[in-house]
Structure 1
Amino acid sequence: MNAVRIIIIAKEPRPGLAKTRLIPALGAQGAAELADRLLHHVVTQALAADLGPVELCVTPDRRADYWHHWHDNDRLELTEQSDGDLGQRMATAARRGLASGLPVMLIGTDCPQLEAPKLQAMATTLMKQDACLCPVLDGGYSLLGLRRFDASLFSDMPWSTDQVTTLTRDRLRQLGWRWHESEPLWDLDEPDDLVRLQHYPSLSGHSI
C-alpha cells in the first residue's frame, strides 16, 4: 500500500472548550474527559493503520501542558492549527501535508468508527481517485482524503450543519474530480449520540 499522511484535526480537551454540545448531558468536565478518550482512540487507530506519517494538528496552543506527553511518541508529528475558521485551518493543514509529497487524509476525533481497517480501506481507494470521503449521519463528514488541493473544498462552508457533505460533493463535481465515498458513519456531537458508546466500552468511561 502506498503511503498516506493522516492529519488529525484536534482540539485540546479542556473543560468548556471541547465537546461543548455534550455539556448539557455530561457537564463540562465529563465532556472534556470524553474528548480526551476520543482523541486517544483516534491516535491509536491512526498509528495502528500504519499508512505513513501521522500528524496531530492541534488548537489552541501546542505548547500547552496537555500536549507535552504526546511529544514522546516518535511516530507522531505535533503541529499547530493556523488562524481562521475550521475551513481555513483544514485547508492550511491539507496544503502543507500535500506539499510533503504524500496524499493526505484529514480526520477529526468525533467518529469512533474510523478504526485502522477503515482508514486502510479509505487509503486504498484514494490511490485510485482524486479524493475520498466518509460522510456521517448528521450531514457532515469524518474523513476527507485528497491527492490534490483546491481551496473551494474548504471556503464558505457552513461547518457543523447538515449541508457540509452535500456541498462538498457539489464542489468535487464542479472540479471534475473523481472520488470514493464510504457508507455513512456516526459521530458523537449531540447528547442523543451517546447511546452509541455502548459499542465502545473503552470510550464510555464512568461519566456516561
Structure 2
Amino acid sequence: MPAERPTEPPHLHLLAKAPLPGQAKTRLAPLLGNEGAAKAHTELLRHCVATACQALPAERVTLWTALDHAHPLFIELREQFDLTLNAQPDGDLGARVRYALNSTPGPAMLMGSDCPSITSALITTCAQQLASYHVVILPAEDGGYGLVGTQQDYPTLFTDIPWGTQSVLTTTQQRIKALGLHAAYPATIWDVDRPEDWQRWKALVNSV
C-alpha cells in the first residue's frame, strides 16, 4: 500500500560546489574554458535556488556547499533568499545525499544544481507525490536522476550505487523493488553536464 500522508510538506536540499575554475562543471571546459565553465555553474546554481525558493518557503530549502563553503556566491544566495547553508560532509555522493535527506525531520527531497529542466511546478508535483509514495524520483535522460525524495531513511537506496554511470536509476529501482517500496516518477528531466547540454539550455533560455 502507498505510504500514509505526511502532515508537513517536505524539506528540499540542494547540493552545489563553489564555482571555482577548474573544479566546477569541468566537462564544459572544452566549449567554455575553465573560467567560462565556472560562470556557467554560477548561472545554473542561481537558477536552481530561485526555482527551489519559488516552489517552497525558504525555511524549507537548504543549500549544501562544497569546495569553498564561504564562497561569495553562497553568501549572496543566502542573503538574497534567506535560506540555510550547510557544508557537505565527507563521503561519496550516496553518503552525502543520505546525510542531507536525514538532516531534517519528516519527508525530504534532494536535487543537484545542474538540472534547469526541473521547474518550480515540477518540484511542487514531487512534493505532492511524496505525500502518497515512499520515494519520488525524477529520472534523467542520461540514466541517473535529478531529484529524489524519501519519506524516511532507506539506507540501501544510496549505498554501493555506481554514481556517474548510466546504471544509477536502474540500480536504484532494483533497490526500491527489493525494499517493497512504492515509488513515483512524475517526469523525465535532463541536466547540464556536457557542452551539448549547455547549448540546449542556452537555446531554451534564448527562445523565451
C-alpha distance in 2, partners of 1:4/1:159? 25
Between 1:168-177 and 1:52-61, the stretch displaced more is 52-61
In structure 1, list runs of 5 or more residues that go unmatched.
203-208
Q: 1:83 — aligned with what? A: 90
Task: Could you list the structure 1 runs, at least 4 aligned residues long, displaced by more than 6 angstroms after superposition.
Answer: none
1:57-105 deviation line (CA, Å, top 9, x unaligned): 11023233442223324630100100011111111111212xxx23111
Q: 1:201 — aligned with what? A: 206
1:27-78 deviation line (CA, Å, top 9, x unaligned): 1111110100000001001000025610001102323344222332463010
Summarize the alignment of residues 1-208 of structure 1 with structure 2, pairs less than 5 Å apart: 2-50=8-56, 53-73=60-80, 75-97=82-104, 101-197=105-201, 198-201=203-206
In the alignment, residue 115 of structure 1 is paired with which amino acid?
T
Aligned partner of residue 152 in structure 1, secondary structure:
helix
C-alpha distance in 2, partners of 1:164/1:74? 32
CA contact (8 A) 1:38 1:112 kept: yes
TM-score (norm 2): 0.90
Between 1:43-52 and 1:104-113, the stretch displaced more is 43-52
TM-score (norm 1): 0.90
- CA RMSD, aligned part only? 1.9
C-alpha distance in 1, partners of 2:27/2:63? 23
Identity, in percent, stands at: 35
C-alpha distance in 1, partners of 2:177/2:72? 43
